[in-house]
Amino acid sequence: MGSDLAKGKGKAGLVSAGRVQSATLGLVVTRDRAIEAFIPVDHYQAKITLGGGELTYSPATPIAGGSSIQLQDDGKPMFLDRAAMLAVTKRLETVDNAAILEAETKQTAKHPPLPYSLTALQRDMSKQYGLTAPQPLKAADSMRSDGYLTSPRTEHGELPASLYNRNDLLAILGGAAKADDALMAPARQAGRRHCMESAEVPRPRCFTDKPMNHHGIIPTRKTPNLADRTEAEQKVYLACAKQFIQALLPAATVESLSVSASIDVEDVIERQPALFSGTFKRVIDHGWMSALEAHKEQKDLPPLVAGASIPIEAVRLHEARTAPPKHYTLHDLLSAMLNAGRHVEGEDAAALRKAAGIGTPATRDTVIQTLFDREYVATKRKGKQQLIVSTPRGRAFIDNTPTELSDVRVTAAWERQLDAIQNAPNDTAAKHARDKFITAQRDFITTRIKEAIDIMDNAPEAVLEAANGPTENMVSAARKLAAARSLTLPEGIEKSFEICRSFLDEVMQQTPPPTDKMKALAMRLAGENGVTLNGELTSFRECKTFIDKYMQIQAPPAKMIAAAESAAKRYQVKLPEAARTSIQECRVFLNEHPR
């Protein structure tokens, strides 16, 4: 496994793999290597300002790639020739007006977020306060055990429709509002909206009729004294209360204006006219967004209408450079685990979406912590952010183990097969699917073991010698045995696994001698009973047999008799006379009448 794995004592030498653990590590290593291999690209755009709004050069598709144009993954072009784009801006500056081809205005509802799932709570607590994944779970569990929050171990934020009733809502809102003054006004607003007798508003989108084991994390009717709680517990409770109250408030309304315009000049790909587009938005009704946070002042949309000829207010050459992917933060890594389906396609993606990604809300933080414990990943600070980066050990694991162990597509395939077993139409079909799955797992493991054997069989002698060194425990055991039996350790035992194992096997098969304490006890018993020792001290077994024989006829010590008398009294039985004269009988009595 290379020079970075399985080295050191205890935890430092431990190498572990897991269906979720290894796939998560694979995400981190892949991201880090993409960052290291990234080559930045300078690209350029022409932008114009119409009516106070800026539009970007957007030629109609299709556009062929070339030496001066690079097509991105989404098909959008990236223009690499600065001189050519600069020439376009010079031509644009010679024109006074742009023709508005389309100007479509529409309003959309921006609904409040759902109450928290555990993963969403962990992500927000990490992003806002820098908490590690276990900290929000621990805080939420503490608040739940004291009756202030519902169970945090949930995969989604939806709530059962049965909770949407006047009595439950008033009690929950009242309990949360009393916890913090900032929650009072929005809680009253939510109460008036849904709990008044005359209220006729649609049921909030967070309430659903579908069955669920655990619903979103929300406050209970009980009000906590936040001053008595830890800082993490305060943050978690207030976040869950705020998210629940917001979910009951009306949606915000966003107005957007989508504009396309043309200018009668030749563009960078020798088309005429040059086309530009832009989208502008503003919030016209803040709804839930203003309940707990102050909102920014909104700018008016540009006064652009289809068919109009609008003066060009400004032209500029926009210069940019592509940026590498970002290292994972805890927030990002939790999101990547939840949305692992985005890394694959087809049935695999569907399986991961149905399974809510890799891992569960209750185990993702443990998985990430395991990666830290194994020293597969570490943190690197960048400003206020704690980035998660792979270590040489983590990369060595990915490089020295089968790809299947760290590929989310394998997890997705297994999820599909397990789902097929669960949803089989009958027992016969379920058993067939189960046996097929288990057979595939067995074959997978067998293949991996054979590969490992072949690698070692074909490895250079130097590698075999390094790989086959004895463990520290083996060497330690050999030294102890040699010292106890007055033996000399064979040469090379500390470097050769085979020599060390052979020595241990040979010595362990031999009859062990008695210990010095056993010898001393046997000699004392022999003297007290006038017995001559005839070789009883040469083997462990014979010495033990001798001691057992003569210990039986020994009288028990006073403390032992006292303990037996106490036991007889406690059990209300008579102490046998033999227990007073024979240590063996006394021991039997005490075993039968334990304290």
| Residues in Cβ contact with 228 at an 8 Å cutoff, skipping those fewer than 6 apart | none
Domain that holds residue 390: 10-38+327-406
Does residue 28 sit in the same domain as residue 142?
no
Kindly report the CA angle at 144 between 126 and 172, in degrees rounded to 5? 100
| Proportion of the chain above pLDDT 90, given as a percent | 49
Number of domains in the chain: 6
Tokens 């309940």, residue located? 291
Tokens for 540, please give them: 């462990």
Q: How confident is the model at residue 340 (pLDDT cuts 50, 70, 90)?
A: confident
Does residue 133 sit in the same domain as residue 230?
yes
Q: How confident is the model at residue 547 (pLDDT cuts 50, 70, 90)?
A: confident
Question: Is 447 inside any structural domain?
Answer: no
Does residue 277 sit in the same domain as residue 331?
no
pLDDT at res. 244: 96
- Phi then psi for residue 285, to 5 deg, are -145, 110
Question: Is 461 inside any structural domain?
Answer: no
pLDDT at res. 385: 80
- Give the Cβ contact number of residue 362 at 10 Å: 17
Q: Which of 66-70, 309-313, 567-571, 576-580 has the lowest mean pLDDT?
A: 66-70
Does residue 532 sit in the same domain as residue 574?
no
Tokens for 166, please give them: 């006047």
Question: Is 529 inside any structural domain?
Answer: yes
pLDDT at res. 356: 65
One-character DSSP codes across 374-440: TTSEEEEEETTEEEEEE-HHHHHHHHHS-GGGG-HHHHHHHHHHHHHHHT-SSHHHHHHHHHHHHHH
Q: How confident is the model at residue 103 (pLDDT cuts 50, 70, 90)?
A: very high
Question: What number is the average pLDDT over the span 380-404?
Answer: 88
| Alpha carbon 139 to its chain's center | 17
Reported as a single tens digit per residue, the pLDDT across 505-544 is 888 887 777 888 888 888 888 887 788 887 667 788 888 8
pLDDT at res. 357: 73
Distance (Å, rounded) from C-alpha 566 to C-alpha 572?
10
Q: Which of 336-345, 403-412, 473-482, 535-544 has the lowest mean pLDDT?
A: 336-345
Q: Is 393 exposed, middle or buried (0-12, 13-18, 19+ CB in 10 A)?
A: buried
> The domain spanning residue 56 has which CATH number?
2.70.20.10
Distance (Å, rounded) from C-alpha 552 to C-alpha 550?
5
Does residue 245 sit in the same domain as residue 146?
yes
Does residue 165 sit in the same domain as residue 273?
no
Give the residue, 45 or 383, on which the prediction is more confident: 45
Q: How confident is the model at residue 326 (pLDDT cuts 50, 70, 90)?
A: very high
Q: Which of 2-6, 261-265, 362-366, 369-373 has the lowest mean pLDDT?
A: 2-6
Q: Select from 222, 250, 278 the last residue of a domain.
A: 250
Q: Which of 7-16, 85-94, 202-211, 310-319 has the lowest mean pLDDT?
A: 7-16
pLDDT at res. 460: 65
Does residue 546 sit in the same domain as residue 585?
no
Does residue 173 sit in the same domain as residue 154?
yes
> The domain spanning residue 201 has which CATH number?
1.10.290.10
Does residue 295 sit in the same domain as residue 342?
no
pLDDT at res. 233: 96
Question: Is 443 inside any structural domain?
Answer: no
Distance (Å, rounded) from C-alpha 206 to C-alpha 584?
73
Give the residue, 237 or 341, on which the prediction is more confident: 237
Question: Is 127 inside any structural domain?
Answer: yes
Question: Is 129 inside any structural domain?
Answer: yes
Question: Is 383 inside any structural domain?
Answer: yes
pLDDT at res. 147: 94
Distance (Å, rounded) from C-alpha 575 to C-alpha 590?
10
Does residue 270 sit in the same domain as residue 342?
no
Question: Is 423 inside any structural domain?
Answer: no
Q: Select from 250, 267, 297 the last residue of a domain.
A: 250
Give the residue, 44 or 408, on which the prediction is more confident: 44
Give the residue, 462 or 155, on which the prediction is more confident: 155
pLDDT at res. 108: 95
Reported as a single tens digit per residue, the pLDDT across 231-274 is 999 999 999 999 999 999 999 999 999 999 999 999 999 899 99
The answer on pLDDT for 462 being more than 60 is: no
> The domain spanning residue 32 has which CATH number?
1.10.460.10
| Nearest residue to 138 via CA among 236, 3, 246 | 236
pLDDT at res. 416: 80
Q: Select from 300, 321, 342 the last residue of a domain.
A: 321
| Residues in Cβ contact with 230 at an 8 Å cutoff, skipping those fewer than 6 apart | 139, 142
Reported as a single tens digit per residue, the pLDDT across 157-214 is 999 999 999 999 999 999 999 999 999 999 999 999 998 877 788 899 999 998 887 8
Distance (Å, rounded) from C-alpha 160 to C-alpha 213?
10
Question: What number is the average pLDDT over the span 296-311?
Answer: 91
Tokens for 533, please give them: 């020792």
Residue 438 corresponds to which amino acid?
A: I
Q: How confident is the model at residue 353 (pLDDT cuts 50, 70, 90)?
A: low
Per the prediction, the chain carries an average pLDDT of 87
Does residue 126 sit in the same domain as residue 186?
yes
Reported as a single tens digit per residue, the pLDDT across 43-86 is 999 999 999 999 999 998 878 766 788 888 777 889 999 999 99
Reported as a single tens digit per residue, the pLDDT across 427-457 is 999 999 999 999 999 998 899 889 888 877 7
| Nearest residue to 311 via CA among 104, 103, 92 | 92
pLDDT at res. 236: 96
| Proportion of the chain above pLDDT 70, given as a percent | 93
Does residue 173 sit in the same domain as residue 270?
no
